Homo-oligomer: A and B are copies of this chain.
Amino acid sequence: MADYRVPRDDMQFLLQDVFQVHQDWSTFAALAELDIDTAQAVIDEAGKLAETLIAPNCRAADEEGVSFQDGRVTTPKGYREQFKQLAEGGWVGVTANPEYGGMGLPKSISAQYEEMLCAADISFSLYPGLTAGAIMTLDLHGSDELKSTYLPKLIAGEWTGTMCLTEPHAGTDLGIIRSKANPLDDGSYELSGTKIFITGGEHDLVDNIVHLVLAKLPDAPPGTKGISLFVVPKFLVNADGSLGERNGVHCGSIEHKMGIHASATCVMNFDGAKAWLVGEPHKGLPAMFTMMNYERLGVGIQGLGAAARSYQTALEYAQERLQGRGAKATQDKAKEADPLLVHGDIRRMLLTMKAFVEGGRAFSTYVGQQLDRAKYSTDDSERERADALVALLTPIAKAFLTDTGLESTIIGQQVLGGHGYVREWGQEQLVRDCRIAQIYEGTNGIQALDLLGRKVVGSRGQLLQPLIADIEELLAEPQQELSREYEQLAAAVDLMKATTSHVLEQVANGDENVINSVAVEYLHLVGYVSFGYMWLRMAKVAEPLLTERAYLGSKVKTAKFYFARLLPRIESLAVAIRDGSESLYLHENGEF
């Protein structure tokens, strides 16, 4: 597997120049002392771990995988040490509450850290990733007692966390879960049921695992409004914080999967396990969604990280591999062939990856900035606006970063030809590992339904406004160099508005099926428009900096590529969306 190098320059450019996140920080009480140099140093430290400790072990860990015997899961060689070093660096609690030992860094920084970790090894990244989600959920919804019992250990990386939602018969449809929790006299509960696809449900990295579990109380109303959230530790915790007896939760087996072979995906059996309620009875789903939303940007970043690494390898290969001849003027007669990079189709592939990777990095930083404003701003209207943007952008971040991530990693294989299909260069592993990110934490189809149904139609289109306003603010200051692209983005926004109105009309006309019939294409349309916005923002900021920073040379050029070759995909998407549900419901169920 090729080496991984953290794209420090690009991350710095985004944080400092494009989004100027430090200007936000200076207005947030909790972050007032953070400056951009500290942030950069922090990123640099994480980058060293990713580059020198985690990435080099990625292929070996994939080949060894996790193994299961007698209820125990063994992780690949090196993982314990990697996790230990990550925990010691404070990275498990990178955004966590400082009151319990967290670093309390903003999400805009954490997004860069997460990208590195995913680029280095998606399987490994899941152990700290799920733990971070559990930390956030407990911090927001747990009682003080639960928090003081679990948070310090989770944040320090001495224990890890999971989220237990899916059951054999209930994946997307959580309303029909069957796990039950019965109250005990001491205020705790006895929880029973089977959960599947539990990432990190069992492993040997740390001494205790803290499961966050959805289950139903005896008096639960039916459906999603009768689901409660519980914490179920693998080992009970004594009053002094030491580990007590083994709880009634056990791993029954692990899954054999296409990829993320080094991540333990477990069937977890809860047999009267001792459990504690988190938050209010029957309000587990909204509480779990705190975690889901946090994870969803994180899952999007998995797609981005895989794509970023695949791009590095593909570019390196295309620069070094000599094969065929370019245009006459560019031929190097001293060699028997020219580098792959001279060929138009290779450049098309590399630029597609580059446009998705750097556009995606900008987008995840943009979402991170909104998450920070929503969390830290003391200005009510800024906070509300950021909240609205987060609601809108989260499903896009999850689905569009993973869809473009998969497309990028597949292209990254193709650039290497047969060498992309064999394990040696690592390109095929990135495809396999990236693929799951389109599925878990709510499939990308579900993200699209969330975006178009709950968010856009649910607000009668109003939730799009802050995004449109941000884009129009940029478009209000056109510049000569990219005038064609400015016009194109304006037209794309108009198309997005018109398409949205069309869907709203069909809904108003009583078509119950239309939202779920066009949601995926709609999410892609908004995704391409958003990436267009990212590319123009970056190009605009890069231009005056070109002379001082050579690495920015390609920003304007890649923006032009994006507008010429990728943004036009919205034309076809808009036509498909306008068809509505009609062509999908001609078939009777038995007629396929």
Residues on A lying within 8 angstroms of B by beta carbon are: 166, 169-173, 176, 196-197, 255-259, 265, 315, 319, 322-324, 326-328, 336-337, 339, 341-351, 354, 406, 410, 413-414, 417-418, 420-424, 428, 431-432, 435-436, 438-440, 443-445, 448-449, 512-520, 553-554, 557-558, 560-561, 563-565, 568-573, 575-576, 579, 581-587, 589, 591-592
Q: Is the CB of B560 within 8 A of A586?
A: yes
Q: Is the CB of B324 within 8 A of A258?
A: no
Q: Is the CB of B591 within 8 A of A428?
A: no
Quick one: given A324-B172, A516-B344, A565-B576, are A557 and B587 in contact (CB under 8 Å)? Answer: yes
Closest to A576 in B: B565
> From DSSP, what is the main secondary structure of chain A's interface residues?
helix
Chain B residues in 8 Å Cβ range of A424: 256
A-B contact pairs, 11 of them (CB 8 A): A196-B418, A258-B422, A344-B514, A344-B585, A347-B587, A348-B517, A351-B587, A421-B435, A557-B583, A560-B583, A564-B576
Q: Is the CB of A421 within 8 A of B257?
A: yes
Give Cα A410–Cα B582 distance, bound, in whole angstroms: 24
Give Cα A103–Cα B438 distance, bound, in whole angstroms: 46
Chain B residues in 8 Å Cβ range of A173: 323-324, 337
Task: Name the one of B319, B343, B440, B513 contacting A516, with C-beta atoms under 8 angstroms.
Answer: B343
Closest to A342 in B: B589
Chain B residues in 8 Å Cβ range of A319: 589, 592
Quick one: given A328-B512, A428-B257, are A417 and B172 in contact (CB under 8 Å)? Answer: yes
Give Cα A327–Cα B258 distance, bound, in whole angstroms: 34
Chain B residues in 8 Å Cβ range of A565: 576, 579, 583
Give Cα A438–Cα B569 distance, bound, in whole angstroms: 22
Chain B residues in 8 Å Cβ range of A339: 589
Give Cα A414–Cα B170 distance, bound, in whole angstroms: 16
Give Cα A511–Cα B315 distance, bound, in whole angstroms: 24
Q: Is the CB of B431 within 8 A of A348?
A: no
Q: Is the CB of A564 within 8 A of B579?
A: yes
Q: A166-B418, A344-B513, A572-B573 are in contact. List 17 more A-B contacts (CB 8 A).
A: A258-B431, A315-B592, A327-B512, A341-B592, A345-B445, A345-B448, A345-B516, A347-B587, A350-B592, A351-B583, A414-B444, A414-B445, A561-B584, A561-B586, A564-B583, A571-B571, A571-B572
